[in-house]
A and B are shown apart, each in its own frame.
Chain A
Amino acid sequence: MTEAVIEARALTRRFGAVRAVDGLDLEVPRGVIYGLLGPNGSGKSTAIRLFCGLLLPDAGEVRVLGERLPEGAEAVRRRIGYMTQRFSLYEDLTVRENLLFVARVYGLGAEGPARVEAALRAYGLAERAGQFAGTLSGGQKQRLALAAVTLHRPPLLFLDEPTAAVDPRSRRDFWERLFELADGGATLLVSTHYMDEAERCHRLAFLDRGRVVMEGEPRALIEALPVQVLEVDCARPRRAAAVLAATAGVRGVSQLGARLRVLLERDVAEPEAHLARSLTAAGLPPAAVERVRPGLEDVFVAHTEGRRP
């Protein structure tokens, strides 16, 4: 079960002078939730559209579910579900009408109505079945969209920033559904810039300017981090941040309320003392400096900081 569901080699797509996807290599194994993480404009949406066959690459190759694109695009289309960033069902149709429309479009025939009713129950939409989709809340719309793209039971699902407009509670519910789908054998490719979402993925790829800069399991990525992370508690955090940013070995500083989170190169010995010395010399002795457990956000920052225009 290690065969790849998506295989991209040196995939490139330009929009005018901009290389939205620039020599992307990616391999997504079957049956996992695979995260595409990256800042805005890093090429996540373009990559997904290339995998769905919606865009043609300028260079490189991509195979999805064993089919080469674009030749196999029609065959692939029947076996994937694509949940767009924006709600893309009909707001002037009811919840049930939308699902019945999707069922007909996928040629589910006589089985369609039964699957629609089952989906309405499974996604907690049974009470809203007669309501216009446009009047649903953000979370309900996401559930409807997911119900729609899974109606034909595709083995591969693409979700482009699926929870961008959804509150944290709905987001948790939504991820429950995604895990259920993965347990059922589906492969899910999810793009996001939420760290808590990224941490839920089985595997991740960090995208920056259209390339994969890092790839692996979230825990392994954190362990492989080439920096150590410290939190500094001090009186004038904004002044202190400027001092720390200029300190030798510091790769990044960000403020969290009254505290500063500092990424420091791994080979700096006695890191707490190193930072404290620097601050004290500038007349800002810190109240506390302590090492903390790094998270995915630190991985993200360490790999994108200082390389943005």
Chain B
Amino acid sequence: MKADSNLEKVLNEGHFAVTVELGPPRGTDISVIEKKAGFLRGMADAVNITDCQTAVVRMSSIATAAILARMGIEPVMQMTCRDRNRIAMQSDIMGASALGIKNMLSISGDHQSFGSQKNAKKVFDLDSIQLIGMVKRLRDEKKMLGDGDLIQGDVPMFIGAAANPFAPPEEFRALHLKKKIDAGADFIQTQGIFNIEKFREWMETVRDMGLDKRCSILAGLIPLKSAGMAKYLTDNVPGINIPDSVIKRINGVPKERAAEEGIAIICESIEQLRDIKGIAGVHIMAIEWEHKIAEIAERAKLLPRPLV
């Protein structure tokens, strides 16, 4: 065991893992976190805490993750490379570990020009692959970057990375995934997958490279709330590939039934993803829809979650 986190144990024992997402509040109100976390309790093996997603200032992922850990719900602390240099990152990772956080996800982070602080100075001292390598070094060798000063204590961190199979350059994406695994990623969460057939083909490439044997791949899913959302995701979110058949389905129902159809679609997707060799679980990104996770998990037969 690398971190002895619940997520790691669930994956190690061969269960089909479930992770979900929780966005921290734009302020200090803990009750917002507690309420969202309440919807997610028992529904997933770990809960990703986003790190100022879309570059909008929110409560830190570390603090929110620590609050979840205190509630007995296991967090996956997301950490972007946008806002911290290697000094702050190592410091924050050690701090997170001391606060009982055992999973993290290394990502580049949305560019600052998207968010509420457009004129901020970006950092990107490390990229997400270098960040993975740095955490692995802290965990496995107890060494900091640079001269390799030894740290005191342990950094048991289960290391995650993101993958976006369908963003250009598409042919490079599996090779890029390999770099992340070479750097030390233990698990992967992908961009939202809608085109299961295309994803099946990509996984074939991934399996041919033996990557599924070297880390746990969780397929990302986004429940559609409306036809408008499907269009927005297609037009604006890189790597989101929604087949016409899915668009037709969500367009084909009355507006008030679109959300229900969206849930039906995601449940069917989960069913299909379960059968793809090399898929170790799903990562459900229900953006500001935490209260619908129970219904999705129930209908997709993801419950009860294993006790490990």
Q: Answer yes or no: are A and B bound together in one complex.
A: no
